[in-house]
Amino acid sequence: MIDPAVLVDAIVTALRNIPNLLAEVGGDPERIYGYKDRPPDNVSLDEAVYRMPARSVMVAWQEMAPGNFGQAEVWKHQVSIYIRADDSRDLNAGTSSFYRIFRATWKGQNSAGQTLADYPVHNSFYPMDVPTIRRTPDVEGVDFFEVTTTFTEIGDD
């Protein structure tokens, strides 16, 4: 069983290596970051989502469950990628910054020409599964977007 923080770090690194995504968050790699539980400061994922700056991406591990991969029993880690858009400063009329950030997350290519669906972000995981995307309001009713996907462990470390 892999430490979830290792997976979150690997996803953040992979996302930061997508030039299109980095451009969509203003060129600042710190706007692509991971959420980790660290009492007493980081104890509420809802609060962390609420505090996300505009045009940012936050990766958070959600849960782990047993599953099957072919004939093998494996651990499957569910991860959410939160996207906070900002259309108030959007210079590309007609296309929401959310859609561009999401597309760069899912279809953006790293320097090797690979998308997140093409390669494992860590050598203990298969490439990510096809994600689900949903719009969700934060505690003040402002929409953010949650991209949920699963990473399947290779073996049982």
What is the number of domains present in the chain? Answer: 1
Considering the domain boundaries, does residue 22 fall inside one?
yes
Answer whether residue 106 is part of any domain. yes
- Does residue 94 come out as left (phi exceeding 0), alpha (psi in the -120 to 50 range) or beta? left
**CB distance 56 to 85 below 8 Å:** no
Q: Which domain holds residue 117?
A: 4-152
Residue 114 falls inside a structural domain: yes
In a domain, 43, yes or no: yes
Specify if 148 maps to a domain: yes
pLDDT the model gives residue 2: 87
**CATH for 115:** 3.30.2000
Q: How far is CA 12 from CA 5, 115, 138, in A?
A: 11, 14, 22
Q: Is the CB of residue 25 less than 8 Å from the CB of residue 32?
A: yes
pLDDT per position in the chain (157 positions), as tens?
A: 889 999 999 999 999 999 999 998 989 999 999 999 888 777 899 889 989 998 899 999 999 999 888 888 899 999 999 999 875 555 555 556 888 898 999 899 999 999 988 989 999 999 999 899 998 887 788 888 999 999 999 866 5
Instruction: Determine contact, residues 23/17, Cβ cutoff 8 Å.
Output: no
Does residue 157 fall inside a structural domain? no
pLDDT at res. 9: 97
pLDDT value of position 89: 55
Q: How far is CA 37 from the centre of its chain?
A: 16
pLDDT value, residue 157: 59
Residue 61 lies in a domain: yes
Q: H helices of 17-157, where?
A: 19-24, 45-50, 97-107
Q: How far is the C-alpha of 9 from the C-alpha of 34, rounded, in Å? A: 7
